Chains A and B, each alone.
Chain A
Amino acid sequence: MIHPALHPNDPGDVAHVVFRGWTVRSDARDLLRWIDLEIPRGRIVALVGPAGSGKSVLLSSVNRLLAGRPGVETGGGVFLDGDPLWGRGVDDLSLKRRTGTVFRDAAVLPGSVHRNIAFPLLLDGWKPGTRLDDAVEAVLRSISAWDRLRDHLHRPAGGLRAGMRQLVNLARAAVGRPEVLLLDEPCGDLDPRETEIVERALLDLSGTRTVMLATHNLAQASRLPHRVAFLLDGKLEEYGPTDRVFQRPMRGSTEDYLSGRFG
């Protein structure tokens, strides 16, 4: 029998996002070094690690925002449901639409809450109308935010509090029914109460969608996800079920970080 710590995936899990020897280099500096990682479908996976450890780079490898950055070289491969995300001849736009991203700084697009949430659909050529309104309402209900935001739909999104803005961003990321949600410290600027609201919305979304959550908040990392990946200096140090990683880390560096000795 294989020790569960050495076999991170549950037998029923299906790999959804797969990194194979994924290496990212920018200006002769390694941002990510030989990452082998399988993100199971429909699960929440937390990426933890100190600042600069490569969490955000890993996320932007999946939504391909990395491709817009000058001076970036990549090696290895990233696969979304078996489709290569990098390489010659990939269809940038259709791949982007299979992911939804929320960034740390709770920024929203100019315009109303409604426009923010509907933005990906509007890009796809949807016309304003009841169908669009229904889609917005549906996604807000799916994250239990309809009651909070229904009265603000046609007010400027920039006027909301940070927690509400992140809810708007979460709805915007989810409205196009992407397979994967990429969250780059979505609660980094929020207070605990707002964090709780966003976390609950996140739990509502998981199950149907794969979620990759980069976070500094170790309590959040132990609370939410099914799995935790610990990154340090662009290398994957440890990956496994949340309980196991937090209670019996296999690496000294993981233990040091999780117990607050550095980072």
Chain B
Amino acid sequence: MRFPARSALALLVVFLALPVLALLGNTARLLFPPSPRLVHLRDGTRFLAVPLPPDPLEKALGRLPVLVDDGSIRVLDRMPVSMEADTQAWLVRRDDGPMLMGRLSGVVAEDGDTLAGEPARRALEEMPKRLRRDRNRILPRSPTAPGAARSPETARRMALFEADDRRVVALFSEPDGTVRTARLSSIREADRAPAGLLDGIRQTLPRLGLLLLEAPDAWDGGGLEPVLASTLALVLLSGLVGGLPALLAAMQLADRTDPGLRTRWIRISSEWFSAVPGVVWGVVGSGVLVEGLGVHLDRIFAPGARWGEGGMLWGAITLGALSAPVTLARAMSAIDRVPRSWREIARSCGATRWQVLRQVILPTAARGLVGAWFSGLARAAGETAPLFLVGAARTLGRSGVGPAPDISLSGGFLHLGVLACDPPWPRTEGALGRPLAFLSLSLLALLCVGLEYVAVRLPQRREPETTR
């Protein structure tokens, strides 16, 4: 029999190709979002719609779900006569009304100035963002009940702003000839089918920035920034409650010239513990921390407390417990790489434990220790399963997808992985050029890969001058 290494290698290439293919496919979807199409039905009606991916039942029945003008989903019983991309059509999402699809016929100011053609297009692309920024400056971050608790000064400035901005209106014409208007300041997103790759990139980049980095817009909930921030905070917190003690423990065990039985056992068991899957830690965390400690805390500090519902602190402690063995094992091997003879020399000179640690071990092992901390962070960031059990929020606080979660130490937390597995976003997000599940998974993968890269690379950066 031939040695099967070659076929194994081919299989490995296939495995590695899978995520790359997924990434490429989704990036293409991001660059060329489904644009409005002109749909001709058998009965002669013509309207603009965005086709959605059918679910299995719809697929079996040969039906086609489309997103129509007013933002609702209409399921077409039979395939339309034709469905051509209308590259001139815009897809507009706004705050004060349903969605709009149509060709831009002009931008009109109330004092009579009318823009058409290229200037109108530019106005539509640039003005809404600027207006919304101004408005957010007057009234930053939406309170849950808009209009509540505004100071008279804010109300006055808001009234001025509204009086000013009501005058600028975009006109859209639909295939059946009707013209609809939209206030520029109410436009959340205005997209148009990209006319090629470059145009796609030009349209996508600002949208990506909006989805990833922008703080929640007072009027629409924004992108993934709160999720990203909450995930980072959770991972960092787990590094503080789990990784840091593990590092200190490794240092505590470092001073002996000969590893004793205790050190060997701690080392071996930390390697065992790092193999325990995350969901086990999740069950333990939810049982001990949420149901046990949290419920008791609530009983003591009631009312108002909500430790018993799970939250960020419990999540961080669970992740910390799960990642501490990883950090400990790697930190101990980093310390092991400091030559034993150096410790012997230092001890023979009469160095105290602390001096051996401070003068000999730490300067050499520092990179390895920081690397160990990062590998713990990478493990913590890579685990999603336990978070379902210890209070990860499943809603994002955007209109229609549940109330805004309370992000605090005792409250819930948002996590990229949780929200990608159990997405609170409506089915139309992908079709509207907001593939949030894909983006959050990509971000999570990027975060883990980045942390692991630092963890592996940092200790390798500089070898000590001599190992002798």
**Given that A93-B352, A109-B360 are contacting pairs, would A158 and B257 also be in contact in the complex, using a CB cutoff of 8 Å?**
no
- Contact string, A174-187, partner B, CB cutoff 8 A, digits 1/0? 00100000100000
**Given that A103-B341, A159-B465 are contacting pairs, would A120 and B349 also be in contact in the complex, using a CB cutoff of 8 Å?**
yes
B465: which A residues are within 8 A, CB to CB? 110, 156, 158-159
A selection of 20 A-B contacts at a CB cut-off of 8 Å is A65-B344, A68-B258, A69-B258, A94-B350, A96-B350, A97-B350, A100-B348, A100-B349, A103-B345, A107-B341, A109-B342, A110-B360, A110-B466, A120-B350, A123-B349, A123-B351, A123-B355, A123-B359, A169-B345, A172-B349
**Given that A68-B256, A70-B256, A93-B352 are contacting pairs, would A109 and B261 also be in contact in the complex, using a CB cutoff of 8 Å?**
no
Measured CB to CB, the nearest residue on chain B to A107 is B341
A172 to B351 CA separation, bound complex (whole angstroms): 13
Q: Is A96's CB under 8 angstroms from B349's CB?
A: yes
Question: Does chain A have a CB within 8 A of B468?
Answer: yes
Q: Is A105's CB under 8 angstroms from B256's CB?
A: no
A156 to B260 CA separation, bound complex (whole angstroms): 32
A158: which B residues are within 8 A, CB to CB? 464-466, 468
Question: Does chain A have a CB within 8 A of B103?
Answer: no
- Contact string, B327-370, partner A, CB cutoff 8 A, digits 1/0? 00000000000010110111111111001000110011000000
**Number of B residues with CB within 8 Å of any CB on chain A:** 26
User: Which listed residue (B257, B261, B339) contacts A65, Cβ 8 A?
Assistant: B257
Closest 4 CB pairs of A and B: A158-B466, A96-B350, A107-B341, A70-B260
- Contact string, B244-276, partner A, CB cutoff 8 A, digits 1/0? 000000000000111011000000000000000
A31: which B residues are within 8 A, CB to CB? none
**Number of A residues with CB within 8 Å of any CB on chain B:** 33
- Contact string, A102-137, partner B, CB cutoff 8 A, digits 1/0? 010111111000000001101100000000000000
A100 to B348 CA separation, bound complex (whole angstroms): 7
Q: Is A107's CB under 8 angstroms from B349's CB?
A: no
A123 to B347 CA separation, bound complex (whole angstroms): 11
A-B contact count (CB 8 A): 86
Interface of A is mostly: mixed
CB distance from A190 to the nearest CB of B (A): 13
Q: Is A107's CB under 8 angstroms from B261's CB?
A: no
CB distance from B464 to the nearest CB of A (A): 5
B355: which A residues are within 8 A, CB to CB? 123
Q: Is A119's CB under 8 angstroms from B346's CB?
A: yes
Q: Is A106's CB under 8 angstroms from B348's CB?
A: no
Using a CB–CB distance below 8 Å, which chain B residues touch chain A? 256-258, 260-261, 339, 341-342, 344-352, 355, 359-360, 363-364, 464-466, 468
A196 to B339 CA separation, bound complex (whole angstroms): 28
B341: which A residues are within 8 A, CB to CB? 103, 105, 107
Question: Does chain B have a CB within 8 A of A101?
Answer: yes
Question: Does chain B have a CB within 8 A of A63?
Answer: yes
Measured CB to CB, the nearest residue on chain B to A169 is B345
A105 to B352 CA separation, bound complex (whole angstroms): 23
Q: Is A103's CB under 8 angstroms from B349's CB?
A: no
Q: Is B258's CB under 8 angstroms from A159's CB?
A: no
Q: Is B350's CB under 8 angstroms from A107's CB?
A: no
Using a CB–CB distance below 8 Å, which chain A residues touch chain B? 63, 65, 68-71, 93-94, 96-97, 99-101, 103, 105-110, 119-120, 122-123, 156, 158-159, 165, 169, 172-173, 176, 182
A173: which B residues are within 8 A, CB to CB? 348
A31 to B190 CA separation, bound complex (whole angstroms): 84
A63: which B residues are within 8 A, CB to CB? 348
Q: Is B345's CB under 8 angstroms from A109's CB?
A: yes
Measured CB to CB, the nearest residue on chain B to A165 is B468
A100: which B residues are within 8 A, CB to CB? 348-349
Other contacts beyond A110-B342, A110-B364, A169-B345: 16, CB < 8 A: A65-B348, A70-B256, A70-B260, A99-B348, A100-B348, A100-B349, A108-B468, A109-B346, A109-B360, A110-B363, A120-B350, A158-B466, A165-B468, A172-B345, A172-B349, A182-B348
A108: which B residues are within 8 A, CB to CB? 345, 466, 468
Q: Is A96's CB under 8 angstroms from B345's CB?
A: no
Q: Which of A96, A99, A100, A172 has the most CB of B within 10 A?
A: A96
CB distance from A32 to the nearest CB of B (A): 18
A100 to B345 CA separation, bound complex (whole angstroms): 9
A69 to B259 CA separation, bound complex (whole angstroms): 8
Q: Is B466's CB under 8 angstroms from A159's CB?
A: yes
B360: which A residues are within 8 A, CB to CB? 109-110
A63 to B344 CA separation, bound complex (whole angstroms): 11
Measured CB to CB, the nearest residue on chain B to A158 is B466
A110 to B337 CA separation, bound complex (whole angstroms): 13
B468: which A residues are within 8 A, CB to CB? 105-108, 158, 165
A204 to B193 CA separation, bound complex (whole angstroms): 89
User: Which listed residue (A70, A71, A119, A159) contacts B349, Cβ 8 A?
Assistant: A119
A110 to B349 CA separation, bound complex (whole angstroms): 15
Q: Is A107's CB under 8 angstroms from B257's CB?
A: no
CB distance from B254 to the nearest CB of A (A): 12
CB distance from B41 to the nearest CB of A (A): 79
B261: which A residues are within 8 A, CB to CB? 70
User: Which listed residue (A70, A156, A182) contacts B258, Cβ 8 A?
Assistant: A70
**Given that A103-B341, A107-B468 are contacting pairs, would A68 and B359 also be in contact in the complex, using a CB cutoff of 8 Å?**
no
A156 to B348 CA separation, bound complex (whole angstroms): 21
A103 to B339 CA separation, bound complex (whole angstroms): 13
A123 to B468 CA separation, bound complex (whole angstroms): 22
B257: which A residues are within 8 A, CB to CB? 65, 68-69
CB distance from A66 to the nearest CB of B (A): 10
